[in-house]
């Protein structure tokens, strides 16, 4: 009896699983939906996606609208730009490992004389990595090609993710002789190495090795080559239909492995068909027992049932109602002549027609249950389709059996919209099972968590405190914003969004912000970012540049930013300056809002500047002549004017001699007599004559005198009197002279 052994590591890798999930989840996006080239190197999966409404194009020229899915092998940066120029919706299913190789090629180009991409020149993944090197890298596949490369001081190396590790090491040994410093980024996927190692180990233990995967799949072809090198009889197939019974003649142990692009259901089909070959070489005729599971080949199809050859002395017959459930109208739609099928023996003896009655329907049910149990025990994934929302979760169909997904296991985070999963086909893991109670509990969350953990690991390899990056805001959360950072969630505290506290964070959702990583903790999965530190840095730089341009006495222009009781702050090109209320006008200003509002343009002169303290004082009134001086020019020292007493003080009285022009009459200049208070001689509002003694324009002071006006008046009166007396004396003398003439001798 032939033993069939499955390789420990086989089939879909994380990157392929992720690519297929992203492609399937794109349903509902803008139509048409197409992958750019095959999503993975597996024709059956490509056909499966096509049946579900996801087509394939080889060039963006074939797309004028809709959604384009970037396949797992990745593309160059120019493809993203071309898709964006066409306004296509982009679903990026590039494998994270490939993405890492692309970015490594780009980074190595900046620090090395040239870059070498180790891989297959015609492979789409290698082509995409080459594009990210700005089409400047050398692509080598063999040691011989590496030996032809030129010598250099520094060489950077990156690899195709599915390249054989041994060959990679041999090529890098050659490259090390070509330079003084070799910078190697070993971007070979660990999943690839594990598959190759497991395949080689199994090939050394079995008689025949079956390698399953697309003929155009590089990693599958490589598996077949490695198995062949061990000396094991190796067959590379895509589907179970390619298996030939003669391959297994006299073979006691057969191994199965599969490339990273091979889905689990194809592996299962191959294994099942190989199991049928075991009995094909069993020469002893077995006795049939009721309830026994047997395999046979369909030899005839009728309307009422099918005849099969089960290796028994008589033929087996499967009634139509036992072929499938529900009973098909046309049995040809279920089976074809030559098909090998499993059946349950309904009767161990021939009936009246000389045939053994069998049931394919019951065998299918048993097989489904067996597969489910095997999947549960081995931890393998199963495929389920959402049927309906039920209390506490979602009911799903798993290979015809009823299963249940608790709401807490639908996604990593609790989902409120369970109905969105109805009709969706999902890969699931069985977390609880009791077939006696027909109870199957499944989880989608555990798969997402595993994928998220891988994304997290790759992300934190790129995340470093102090790095500056651009990230898209996903949502508003308590205390700040969530952003996407290389596939993991980052957090921007509200205090780190701007230099001032921001109200209404929803305005940032969907925006791409330039941020700096200020905290990173891989264990906690915590990434904290700040936009504020970058803004403060830019402001500080602008301030310093502005300060370097500033000189005392410069006339500058700016914009009012803030208004305070004591003045306004004016932005004069990257730095704030204070225009004090006392420097706004020559007249007294009660409050700055009388003259300014936020946003007003201001032209002023710099009157104070302290570069160290970053303090700048402006003056508006220094740009215009003091109107007091104009008014002072209307009066002259020594003149007498009429004024009005405006204010009395303990040192004198202020007298208004013109509009907005006052002078001080000191106590000694109020009256001829001695007074202690100005109120003894004057009252507010009283009209008086004053003499302008002095005009001090520097200190804006005018000295007046009432006393001197009185003295000047008295002096004038006295002079007039004396002149009058003098005139009278002269006249009398003349008269006396005339009289004395008569008495002359």
Any idea which residues carry the catalytic annotation? 125
Positive/negative CA dihedral, 532, 535, 540, 543? negative
Please report how many Cα atoms fall inside a 13 Å half-sphere around the Cα of residue 173, on the Cβ side: 9
DSSP state of 723: H
Cα angle, residue 97 at apex, residues 60 and 110 outer, rounded to 5°: 85
H, E, C per residue of 91-153:
EECCCHHHHHHHHHHHHHHHHCCEEEEECCCCCHHHHHHHHHCCCCCEEECCHHHHHCCCCEE
Instruction: Indicate the SS3 state at residue 74.
Output: coil
Name the pairing type of β-strands 67-70 and 33-36. parallel
Closest to 404 measured CA to CA, from 393, 391, 416: 393
What's the token pair of residue 103? 């970015």
- Cβ contact 108:185 at 8 Å: yes
Residue 48 CB partners (closer than 8 Å, separation 6+): 263
Give CA–CA dist 269/275, Å, rounded: 10
- Tell me how far apart the alpha carbons of residues 286 and 127 are, in angstroms, rounded to a whole number: 57
Among 240, 276, 241, 195, residue whose Cα is nearest residue 6 = 195
Residue 26 per-residue DSSP state:
T
Least Cα distance to 336 among 294, 298, 296, 295 occurs for 298
- Give the per-residue SS3 of 556-605: EEEEEEEEECCEEEEECCCCEEEEEHHHCCCCCCCCHHHCCCCCCEEEEE
> Are 40 and 213 contacting, i.e. CB atoms less than 8 angstroms apart?
no
d(Cα 453, Cα 21) in Å, to the nearest integer? 16
Whether 168 contacts 140, CB under 8 Å: no
Residues with Cβ < 8 Å from 250, sequence gap 6 or more? 281
Q: What are phi and psi of 116, to 5 degrees?
A: -115, 125
Q: Is 285 exposed, middle or buried (0-12, 13-18, 19+ CB in 10 A)?
A: exposed
Distance CA 374, CA 271 (A): 13
Instruction: State whether residue 610 is helix, strand or coil.
Output: strand
């Amino acid at each position: 009896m032939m033993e069939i052994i499955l390789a420990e590591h086989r089939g879909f890798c994380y990157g392929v699983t992720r690519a297929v999930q992203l492609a399937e989840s794109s349903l509902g996006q803008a139509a048409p939906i197409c992958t750019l080239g095959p999503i993975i190197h597996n024709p059956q999966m490509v056909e499966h996606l096509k049946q579900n409404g996801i087509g394939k194009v080889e060039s963006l020229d074939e797309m004028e609208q809709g959604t384009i899915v970037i396949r797992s092998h990745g593309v160059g940066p120019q493809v993203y730009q071309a898709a964006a120029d066409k306004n296509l919706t982009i679903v990026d299913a590039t494998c994270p490992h490939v993405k890492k190789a692309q970015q490594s090629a780009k980074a190595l180009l900046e620090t090395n004389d040239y870059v070498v991409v180790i891989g297959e020149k015609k492979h789409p993944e290698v082509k995409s990595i080459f594009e990210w090197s700005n089409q400047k890298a050398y692509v080598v596949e063999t040691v011989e090609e590496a030996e032809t490369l030129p010598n250099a001081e520094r060489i950077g190396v990156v690899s195709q993710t599915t390249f054989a590790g041994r060959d990679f090491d041999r090529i890098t040994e050659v490259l090390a002789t070509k330079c003084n410093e070799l910078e190697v980024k070993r971007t070979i996927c660990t999943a690839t190495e594990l598959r190759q190692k497991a395949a080689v180990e199994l090939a050394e233990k079995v008689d025949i090795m079956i390698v399953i995967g697309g003929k155009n799949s590089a990693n599958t072809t490589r598996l077949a080559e490695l198995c062949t090198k061990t000396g094991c009889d190796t067959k590379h197939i895509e589907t179970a239909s390619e298996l030939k019974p003669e391959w297994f003649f006299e073979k006691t142990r057969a191994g199965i492995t599969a490339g990273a692009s091979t889905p689990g259901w194809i592996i299962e089909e191959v294994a099942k068909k190989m199991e049928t070959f075991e009995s094909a070489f069993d020469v002893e005729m077995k006795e049939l027992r009721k309830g026994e599971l047997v395999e046979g080949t369909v030899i005839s199809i009728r309307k009422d049932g099918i005849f099969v050859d089960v290796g028994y002395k008589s033929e087996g017959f499967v009634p139509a109602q036992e072929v499938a459930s529900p009973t098909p109208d046309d049995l040809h739609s279920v089976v074809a002549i030559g098909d090998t099928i499993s059946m349950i023996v309904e009767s161990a003896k021939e009936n009246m027609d000389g045939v053994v009655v069998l049931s394919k329907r019951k065998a299918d049910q048993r097989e489904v249950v067996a597969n489910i149990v095997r999947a549960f025990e081995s931890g393998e994934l199963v495929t389920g389709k959402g049927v309906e929302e039920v209390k506490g979760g979602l009911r799903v169909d798993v290979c015809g059996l009823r299963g249940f997904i608790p709401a807490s296991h639908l996604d990593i985070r609790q989902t409120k919209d369970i109905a969105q999963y109805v009709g969706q086909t999902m890969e699931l893991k069985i977390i609880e099972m009791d077939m006696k109670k027909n109870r199957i509990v499944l989880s989608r969350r555990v798969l997402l968590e595993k994928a998220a953990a891988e994304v997290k690991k790759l992300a934190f390899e790129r995340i470093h405190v102090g790095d500056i990056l651009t990230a898209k805001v996903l949502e508003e959360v308590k205390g700040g914003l969530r952003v996407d950072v290389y596939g993991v969630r980052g957090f921007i505290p509200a205090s780190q969004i701007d230099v001032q506290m921001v109200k209404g964070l929803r305005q940032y959702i969907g925006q791409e912000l330039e941020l700096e990583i200020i905290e990173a903790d891989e264990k906690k999965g915590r990434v904290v970012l700040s936009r504020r530190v970058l803004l403060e840095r830019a402001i500080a730089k602008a301030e310093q540049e502005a300060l370097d341009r500033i000189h005392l006495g410069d006339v500058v222009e700016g914009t009012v930013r803030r208004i305070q009781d004591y003045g306004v702050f004016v932005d004069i090109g990257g730095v704030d300056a204070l225009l004090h209320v006392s420097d706004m006008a020559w007249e007294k200003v009660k409050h700055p809002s009388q003259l300014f509002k936020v946003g007003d343009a201001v032209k002023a002169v710099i009157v104070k500047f302290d570069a160290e303290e970053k303090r700048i004082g402006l003056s508006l009134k220094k740009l215009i002549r003091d109107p007091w001086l104009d008014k002072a020019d209307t009066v002259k020292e020594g003149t007498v004017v009429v004024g009005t007493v405006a204010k009395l003080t303990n040192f004198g009285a202020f007298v208004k001699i013109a509009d907005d022009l006052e002078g001080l009459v000191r106590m000694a200049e109020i009256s001829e007599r001695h007074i202690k208070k100005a109120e003894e001689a004057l009252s507010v509002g009283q009209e008086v004559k004053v003499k302008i003694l002095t005009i001090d324009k520097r200190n804006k002071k005018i000295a007046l005198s009432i006393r001197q006006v009185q003295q000047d008046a008295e002096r004038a009166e006295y002079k007039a009197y004396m002149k009058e007396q003098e005139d009278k004396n002269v006249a009398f003398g003349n008269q006396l002279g005339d009289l004395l003439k008569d008495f002359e001798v």
